[in-house]
């Protein structure tokens, strides 16, 4: 995978897909490490709103940002340069877009491509490395993993996940204490909906509070929903403990594949209502068992919650950003730095490397032996996996009660090419 390069070149960095509490920590790792190698990396241009910034030649000159601002990114959630949901089509279907990328890279002397995203962007990153070779303007393309869904293969975990997992575990614990207080005369069942369309990693984090004495029922996307079994499980929990907490993945679905969240709810005009899985599940419990309930849908709050980020996650996000630059400088191409776990307790890991050809378009689901036999909980094996990922607190600095999050200047680079229609 290594190719020889001698020239000093500029670099491109972009954030892709749903942002996280720590994707900016990866950005900080990329930018700080690039700044240490000014002999080989000129400027780092960031794509405004992700890859769209590259296609439209809307580049941000990160050299205009102070060292302090770049440091502050480490504790700022969201995507500092903007992200986008924009998947490049296959090379065959849309060669034009890939060629445009290379034109922009050529115009701005960009020899390094750092793409910070999930499975789709790993695929884009891989294709960029391929076509750049074909077009005679070789770019070293390194993917920096990021996804709250934790569904990338090869790497033991994905930056963004540990912090969401910590948010979910802490929030579920706090709400469960609340319900336990109220259960005698009021709320007996609390339902928390969390992210995870296909993989149940985030929902699994709720299982960590079982060891704190909380009766918990988890609905994973990996396990087809069985209403009868679910109601029986909640009934048992409430009888035994007086209350129960349910963590439902947004991707929880029936055996026929239909999502719980789309249980045929209609608004006053008969339009299908975009609701959550949580109210559906909560009302189901009410109708079957009569228990008072409360429900919450965490949505963006969970993935943006930098205030309760996992210190492990923040550190790994930064390290993977930094390593991406080091890999590029070492001549690697079409690879992604990975977290390779050495041991659970004490938690030890090393940073490894995976070829993008093996990463792109592969989703990693919860292994069946991470889920209890009845399908409603997590096993000790899963807990051993999860515990180190939520460990440690990494608080932002506060001023007057609010966290000091960085907003960058995001100064545009002068355009050199004709405009390009998306």
Q: Which helix (H) or strand (E) holds 101?
A: helix 95-107
* 45, 415 contact by CB (below 8 A): no
CA distances from 380 to 224, 225, 323, 385 (A): 22, 22, 32, 9
369 is a site residue for a copy of itself (CB under 8 A): no
124 is a site residue for a copy of itself (CB under 8 A): no
166 is a site residue for a copy of itself (CB under 8 A): yes
CA distances from 159 to 116, 198, 222 (A): 10, 18, 22
334 is a site residue for a copy of itself (CB under 8 A): no
- In the complex, the smallest distance separating the C-beta of residue 66 from a copy of itself, rounded to whole angstroms, is 18
Question: 300 CB contacts (<8 Å, ≥6 apart)?
Answer: none
82 is a site residue for a copy of itself (CB under 8 A): yes
**For residues 382-396, b (16+ Cβ closer than 10 Å) or e, as one string?**
bbebbbbbbeeebeb
117 is a site residue for a copy of itself (CB under 8 A): no
Question: Is 149 tagged catalytic?
Answer: yes
405 is a site residue for a copy of itself (CB under 8 A): yes
421 is a site residue for a copy of itself (CB under 8 A): no
**What secondary structure letter does DSSP report for 413?**
P
Token couple for 359: 């990463």
Alpha-helical (H) ranges within 148-218 are 161-182, 201-205
Token couple for 232: 């029986």
Number of residues that bind a copy of itself (CB under 8 A): 87
CB atoms < 10 A from the CB of 173, how many? 18
305 is a site residue for a copy of itself (CB under 8 A): yes
- In the complex, the smallest distance separating the C-beta of residue 244 from a copy of itself, rounded to whole angstroms, is 14
- In the complex, the smallest distance separating the C-beta of residue 242 from a copy of itself, rounded to whole angstroms, is 9
Q: Name residues contacting a copy of itself, limited to 208-237 (CB under 8 A).
A: 208-209, 212-213
What does the per-residue mask of binding to a copy of itself show for 52-81, with x meaning CB under 8 A? Answer: x-----------------------xxxxx-
Give me the catalytic one of 58, 103, 123, 149.
149
User: Residues 2, 107, 301, 330: which binds a copy of itself (CB under 8 A)?
Assistant: 301
d(C-alpha 272, C-alpha 136), whole Å: 51
CA distances from 420 to 54, 377, 415 (A): 10, 50, 11
State which residue, 42 or 276, has the beta carbon closest to a copy of itself. 276
User: Residues 34, 104, 148, 169: which binds a copy of itself (CB under 8 A)?
Assistant: 169
Alpha-carbon Rg for the chain, nearest whole angstrom, is 23
- In the complex, the smallest distance separating the C-beta of residue 131 from a copy of itself, rounded to whole angstroms, is 23
- In the complex, the smallest distance separating the C-beta of residue 107 from a copy of itself, rounded to whole angstroms, is 22
- In the complex, the smallest distance separating the C-beta of residue 385 from a copy of itself, rounded to whole angstroms, is 13
42 is a site residue for a copy of itself (CB under 8 A): no
Q: Name residues contacting a copy of itself, limited to 139-158 (CB under 8 A).
A: none
Q: What is the DSSP string of 331-370?
A: T--SEEEEEEEEETTTTEEEEEEEEGGGTTT---PPPGGG
d(C-alpha 82, C-alpha 338), whole Å: 24
Q: Name residues contacting a copy of itself, limited to 255-274 (CB under 8 A).
A: 263-268, 271, 273-274
- Does residue 298 sit in helix, strand or coil? coil
* Contact region with a copy of itself (CB under 8 A), list: 148-156, 185-193, 219-227, 321-329: 185-193
d(C-alpha 312, C-alpha 306), whole Å: 13
Q: Which helix (H) or strand (E) holds 110?
A: strand 110-117
User: Residues 42, 119, 196, 279: which binds a copy of itself (CB under 8 A)?
Assistant: 279
d(C-alpha 6, C-alpha 113), whole Å: 16
- In the complex, the smallest distance separating the C-beta of residue 293 from a copy of itself, rounded to whole angstroms, is 9
203 is a site residue for a copy of itself (CB under 8 A): no
190 is a site residue for a copy of itself (CB under 8 A): yes
239 is a site residue for a copy of itself (CB under 8 A): no
37 is a site residue for a copy of itself (CB under 8 A): no
User: Residues 402, 418, 419, 421: which binds a copy of itself (CB under 8 A)?
Assistant: 402
Length of the chain in terms of residues written: 422
Q: Is 334 left (phi over 0), alpha (psi -120 to 50) or beta?
A: left
177 is a site residue for a copy of itself (CB under 8 A): yes
380 is a site residue for a copy of itself (CB under 8 A): no
* 250, 196 contact by CB (below 8 A): yes
419 is a site residue for a copy of itself (CB under 8 A): no
Active site residues: 149
């Amino acid at each position: 995978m290594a190719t020889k390069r001698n020239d000093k070149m500029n670099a491109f960095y972009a954030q892709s897909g749903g942002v996280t509490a720590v994707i900016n920590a990866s950005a900080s790792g990329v930018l700080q490490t690039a700044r240490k190698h000014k002999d080989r990396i000129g400027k780092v241009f960031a794509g405004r709103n992700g890859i769209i910034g590259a296609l439209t030649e809307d580049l941000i000159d990160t050299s205009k940002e102070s060292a302090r601002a770049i440091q502050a990114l480490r504790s700022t959630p969201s995507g500092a340069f903007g992200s986008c949901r924009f998947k490049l089509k296959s090379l065959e279907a849309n060669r034009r877009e890939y060629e445009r990328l290379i034109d922009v890279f050529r115009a701005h002397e960009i020899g390094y491509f750092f793409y910070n995203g999930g499975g789709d962007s790993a695929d884009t990153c891989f294709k960029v490395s391929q076509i750049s070779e074909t077009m005679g303007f070789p770019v070293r393309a390194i993917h920096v993993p990021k996804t709250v869904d934790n569904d990338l293969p090869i790497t033991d975990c994905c930056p963004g996940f540990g912090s969401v997992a910590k948010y979910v575990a802490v929030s579920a614990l706090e709400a469960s204490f609340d319900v336990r207080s109220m259960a005698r005369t009021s709320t007996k069942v609390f339902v928390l909906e969390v992210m995870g369309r296909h993989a149940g990693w985030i929902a699994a984090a709720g299982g960590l509070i079982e060891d704190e004495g909380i009766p918990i029922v988890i609905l994973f996307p990996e396990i087809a929903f069985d209403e009868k079994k679910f109601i029986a499980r909640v009934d048992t929990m409430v009888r035994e403990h007086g209350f129960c907490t349910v963590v439902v993945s947004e991707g929880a679905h029936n055996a026929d594949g239909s999502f719980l969240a789309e249980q045929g709810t209609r608004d006053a005009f008969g339009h299908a209502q975009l609701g959550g899985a949580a109210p559906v599940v909560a009302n189901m419990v009410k109708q079957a068992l009569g228990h008072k309930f409360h429900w919450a849908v965490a949505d963006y709050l969970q993935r943006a919650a930098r205030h309760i980020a996992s210190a492990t996650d923040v550190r790994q996000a930064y390290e993977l950003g930094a390593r991406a630059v080091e890999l590029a400088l070492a001549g690697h191409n079409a690879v992604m730095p990975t977290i390779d776990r050495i041991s659970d307790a004490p938690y030890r890991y090393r940073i490894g490397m995976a070829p993008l050809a093996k990463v792109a378009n592969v989703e990693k689901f919860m292994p069946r032996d991470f889920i209890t036999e009845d399908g409603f909980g997590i096993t000790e094996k899963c807990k051993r996996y999860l515990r180190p990922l939520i460990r440690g607190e990494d608080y932002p600095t506060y001023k007057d009660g609010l966290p000091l999050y960085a907003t960058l200047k995001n100064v545009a680079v002068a355009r050199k090419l004709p405009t390009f229609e998306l």
